[in-house]
Structure 1
Amino acid sequence: MKSVDDIKQALEILSIPEKAEFFPKFFKTGKGEYGEGDVFIGVTVPDQRSVAKEFYNKISLGELGELLPSKIHEHRLTALLILVHQFEKTKDKIKQKEIIDFYLKHTKYINNWDLVDTSCYKILGRYCFENQDSKLLEKLSDSKNMWEMRMAIVGTMHHIKKEQFELTKTFALKNLKHPHDLMHKANGWLLREMGKINEKELLDFLNLHYKEITRTCLRYAIEKLEEEVRQNYLNGKI
């Protein structure tokens, strides 16, 4: 599979030893951490985007199926960046569905927050919005796997950009009791994005639920609000 080998070689050439040493700490790859066992060769995201742009129209889904399971993080992220390009460049509904099916079949390899956040809303979120069918995201939101649950909430980013907020709010409430901080950061981030487009929607949601949501989620959600309003939420004065 020459395209796969060419991509790996291109990434190897772009690898930076200092980054390869730093990334495992940043992405928490130590024993018991959320990225345990992940391997990095030290390629920056802009460089991976350049490689993805060069190869997206030269590689098949079958070949991507060889690249995505790699133990090397940059191989997986580049494969997902390629997949985003392929999805965005086609208007063929059959091809789009093939990409969706491929993505869902390989979720076990989309196993860190950057892999999820870079790909899911541009593929799954857009597909669900354009087909006015939220079932794919709803199924992921019910998963026991944290990364799939994160795909669901982050997948609603496309809906937020189109000023549809109900799915985001539904998933945020569903995640209230999740044990991992990464989920609460995702919830807060998406609520904040909702507020940037429609502050009233965010305030109405917070007024009902801010005492239930975690401190992490709340801090992320209110980050762009006026300081006095932020402090009122943080101090329970609403």
Structure 2
Amino acid sequence: MGDTELHAAADVRAALAAAADPARAAGAAAFFKTGPGGYAERDVFIGVAVPATRSIVRRSLSLPAGDVAELVASPIHEERLAGLLVMVERFRRAGRARTRDDAARAAEHERYLDAVRTGRVDNWDLVDATAEVLLGEVAFPSAPVDEVEPAIVAGLVASDSLWSRRVAVISTFAAIKAGDPRPTLAVAERLLDDPEPLLHKAVGWMLREVGKRVDRGALTGFLDEHAARMPRTMLSYATEHLDPAERARYRAMR
């Protein structure tokens, strides 16, 4: 039934298959660029809506770690997403004040890093649903942060993998939410010349959040220094919420 707890990867796969929609799968395959030469070439969608996936995940939190890893290693996108979201939810629950379990959080964090390094976190939605929590909340647990660019984040920024670099960028959202813009600015500066449009969007988004949530002056100071060399999409995202005249001024600097 819809609220029955799921105890194995096979149960999760069956629940996802029951919620699958071929028409939605075709649309997702096109939207996520799975065709030849696309950034998600050969990814496989079965057409499960994200809310339905999250509902299944809530029934799957007692899965053994090996079963979660099995889902994360799946060729099916929604199965990878489900496995990763189980990790996110278990990490969050282990961080609750009354029942805090730092060992459990560390275990989920390490499993996530393994998934990133082995190429399992390989689309922007998978990154964006996980990096802030499973990397960012470990790398940037408070503000001001102890290290502006911890070694694990720096290593991902330098990776040849587009998705690892996006993980690094999105992880800094945790620092933004903690009130410290410096990690985002440091990572953004290192990625100004990145060739990938999906990185331009991610960096611009995080810069925009710096200006909205923490310090508008930190954003405009970064733009004063770097707008002329920023890729067009990055600059567009970063300046979205500035007033029209200021936005136009920065965009004219390119």
Contact 2:128 2:170 in 1 (8 A): yes
Q: Could you tell me how far apart the structure 2 residues matched to 1:200 and 1:173 are?
A: 16
Show the counterpart of 2:180.
Answer: 164
TM-score (norm 2): 0.89
Whether 1:179 aligns to 2:195 is: yes
Show the counterpart of 2:127.
Answer: 116
Q: Could you tell me how far apart the structure 2 residues matched to 1:54 and 1:163 are?
A: 34
TM-score (norm 1): 0.95
User: Aligned runs of 1:1-238 on 2, under 5 Å?
Assistant: 3-56=8-61, 58-90=62-94, 91-107=100-116, 108-130=119-141, 132=146, 134-197=150-213, 198-236=215-253
Residue segments in structure 1 that go unaligned for 5+ positions in a row: none
Counterpart of 1:220 in structure 2: which amino acid? Y
Instruction: Give the RMSD, CA atoms, in angstroms.
Output: 1.5
Larger mean Cα displacement after TM superposition, 10-19 or 122-131: 122-131
More helix, by proportion:
1
Residue deviations 1:139-177 (CA, integer Å, cap 9, x gap)? 211111111011001100000011111111111111111
Once the 2 structures are TM-superposed, how far is the Cα of residue 129 of structure 1 from its aligned partner? 1.4
- Runs of 4 or more above 6 Å deviation: none
Counterpart of 2:175 in structure 1: which amino acid? H
Once the 2 structures are TM-superposed, how far is the Cα of residue 236 of structure 1 from its aligned partner? 2.5
- The percentage of counterpart residues that share the same residue type is 36
Q: Could you tell me how far apart the structure 2 residues matched to 1:80 and 1:174 are?
A: 27
Counterpart of 2:84 in structure 1: which amino acid? L
Q: Could you tell me how far apart the structure 2 residues matched to 1:112 and 1:211 are?
A: 29
Counterpart of 1:110 in structure 2: which amino acid? V
Residue segments in structure 2 that go unaligned for 5+ positions in a row: 1-5, 95-99
